[in-house]
Amino acid sequence: MPSVVNISTSQTIVTRSNPFPGFEFPPGSPFEDMFKDFGTPQKKKAYALGSGFIIDSSGIIVTNNHVIKEAEDILVRIEGGEDYEAEVIGADPLSDLAVLKIKSNEKFKPVKFGNSDKARIGDWVIAIGNPFGFGGTVTSGIISSRNRDIGLTRYDDFIQTDASINVGNSGGPLFNLDGKVIGINTAIIAPGSSGSIGIGFAIPANPASKVIEQLIKYGETKRGWLGVRIQQVTKEIAKVEKLEEAKGALVASVAEKSPADKGGIKAGDIILEFDGKEVDTMRKLPKLVAQTKVGKK
């Protein structure tokens, strides 16, 4: 609990009120631009809540990018009620991760990452976060599934859990029973915004820690790049190419002078394996490439 923090952010949103409330101009109308400037700018503060966890005693915090995106002020509350200001060290919208630093010289209690590759379906897990702004809340469940792709980020590879995750839990840790962080709680499926129905998703610790290391070191992420545009291998394509099953990534085009181009990859090729790892679906390839060290042969 002392390592999990509540994060509150604020930003100023400027809206212009319509000086002619009775009139609505159709989009693209020449009047729309003319009257847009007449409205009086209305400033209002928007607040957001989330969670995070300390990974270094100097006060380095991991959270989701969407928790701190466009925030002007970031306040971090440690369990027990002390508030601190925090600044963003680095953020990566593509994997929805961000790293903050508490503006203080105090020493804080960190938690460690576990090996998320060893997490099995059915293992018990514990989520700690700040649901609905209540502060440190612990929920438990099991790992329902792994390697889930829900189309949320470019590199989806989520751990699915039925531990209750609600609004405000984003960025909080998912622990195994050794107290090691194996995931970062990021999303839930809640039909009609009904809150948690036991389908939550966490970014696995192993790919996350690679991104976090780079954010701390460079303030940004440096991913491997291949230089191919790809599409799905359908059953029909698999049949024509005499593949036993529809798998791999079909190369639609190759960027000029890219690593793929230099390596002799052509449009129409199907990539079945990358760096010794099987490409079973099209979306697996960008994940494998992104996690590969830049410059590796």
Closest C-alpha to 11, from 94, 63, 88, 112: 88
- Give 75: exposed, middle or buried? Use CB within 10 Å, 0-12, 13-18, 19+: middle
Please identify which of the residues 3, 8, 51, 66 carries the catalytic annotation: 66
Work out whether strand 124-129 and strand 173-175 pair parallel, antiparallel, or are unpaired. antiparallel
269 is catalytic: no
Question: Does residue 66 carry a catalytic annotation?
Answer: yes
117 is catalytic: no
Task: Spot the catalytic one: 8, 92, 96, 144.
Answer: 96
Q: Where are the beta strands (DSSP E) in the chain?
A: 4-16, 41-56, 60-63, 73-78, 82-92, 97-102, 124-129, 137-148, 158-161, 173-175, 181-188, 200-204, 228-232, 249-254, 270-271, 273-274, 277-278
Report residue 76: phi and psi, to 5°.
-115, 130
Give the span between the Cα atoms of 138 and 116, in whole angstroms.
20
Gap between the Cα atoms of 51 and 77, Å rounded: 9
Helices (H), the chain: 30-36, 65-68, 205-218, 235-240, 259-262, 284-290
CA distance 265 to 62: 38
Identity of the amino acid at 119: A
Taking the C-alpha atoms of residue 292 and residue 297, their distance in angstroms, rounded to an integer, is 10
**Which residues form the catalytic set?**
66, 96, 170
